[in-house]
Homo-oligomer: A and B are copies of this chain.
Amino acid sequence: MVRIALDAMGGDHAPLAPVAGAVRAARAWGYEIQLVGREADVRAALRQQGDLTGVEHLLHIVHAPEVIEMGEHPAAAVRAKRHSSMAVAIDLVKKAGADAFVSAGNTGGVLATALLGLRRIEGITSERPALAAQLPTLKGTCIMLDIGANVDVKPEWLAQFALMGSIYAEIALGKQRPSVATLSNGEEEGKGNATLTDAIPLIRNMPIHYVGNIEGKDVTAGIVDVAVVDGFAGNIFLKGAEGVVATVTELLRQELTRNPLRAALALALRPAFRGLRRRLSYEEYGGVPLLGVNGVCIVAHGRSTPYAMQNAIRAGARCVELRLVERIRERLAAVAALSSSP
């Protein structure tokens, strides 16, 4: 049985959304979930969930007196608050048999706490774990990493991101041999900045299905399963894509309400617009992993709803069941053995 240490205080709608998500996840899949946070707050949130018959034994409150707020400076907050819900939950993973950590809290705080508590997987050399996103595309889902944890990268880190992204795609997308591309300023061989062009020979040595460079437009076209990029360009891409969706949606809304006839027709088409919104939503996959840290850590969106939290917990459990961390460790060791053999 998978046991999840959940940061019940993380996210814009905490503790209600994480607690509600936990109740749903326990009911749907039978996970054991430790709700970590201020006991009184968590208990109150739990009381609002209605009848807990059948899942009560799966939900445990673990008290943590402090909270790292969404707006706080991560490094300072992590240093100052040794008993935050994040720190206590990570400790459960480290020492008390929890299998995975899930939080919708301050991403920088999650990164720092997880790294401090769990350290890196042997062989991982990047300064921080990589953050992976799952993007909706025309053909399904594309996993992109890094999306902001490492803004100045080394070639070796990009190669490790490629390997970890491929393994995560096996788990999250259920693909046997996910296609992995590097995101660049052109498809042609040789396109890219200096770090990327230095990384490509290292990526070619990884035991993955590397298909070369892709351009920004190819990501949402869905031509590959995994897109590898440094955290600076990746973050700009990802937030840019969110911004474009918001802008196109708003421009469409303006056009559709320009006169009463249009507004009436648009009203009748609301199911279609809802369908579009659902296909662009982050809620389905709920959360994304920190890759490279020595334990399963899932970061959910700060605005996560109960449904998104439920899916984030599910994402964490899948990583445990399908041995994400062990697979990364084994594959890295195999690469190291190969490259050190004569």
Contact = CB atoms under 8 A, between A and B. Distances in A.
Interface of A: 137-138, 148, 151-152, 183-186, 192-194, 196, 215-221, 229-233, 235-252, 255-256, 258, 262, 265-266, 268-269, 271-273, 275-276, 279-280
Contacts of A193: 151-152, 230, 232
A272 B232 CA distance: 36
Contacts of A272: 252, 255-256, 258, 262, 266
Nearest to A108: B186
B248 A248 contact: yes
A242 B216 contact: yes
Contacts of A250: 138
A231 B185 contact: yes
A256 B269 contact: yes
A136 to B, nearest CB: 8
Contacts of A219: 240, 243
A302 B239 CA distance: 27
A217 B243 contact: yes
30 contacts: A137-B247, A152-B194, A184-B236, A185-B231, A185-B235, A185-B236, A216-B239, A216-B240, A216-B242, A216-B243, A217-B246, A220-B243, A233-B236, A233-B237, A236-B237, A237-B237, A237-B240, A240-B240, A241-B241, A241-B244, A245-B248, A251-B279, A255-B272, A255-B279, A256-B269, A265-B265, A265-B269, A266-B269, A266-B272, A269-B269
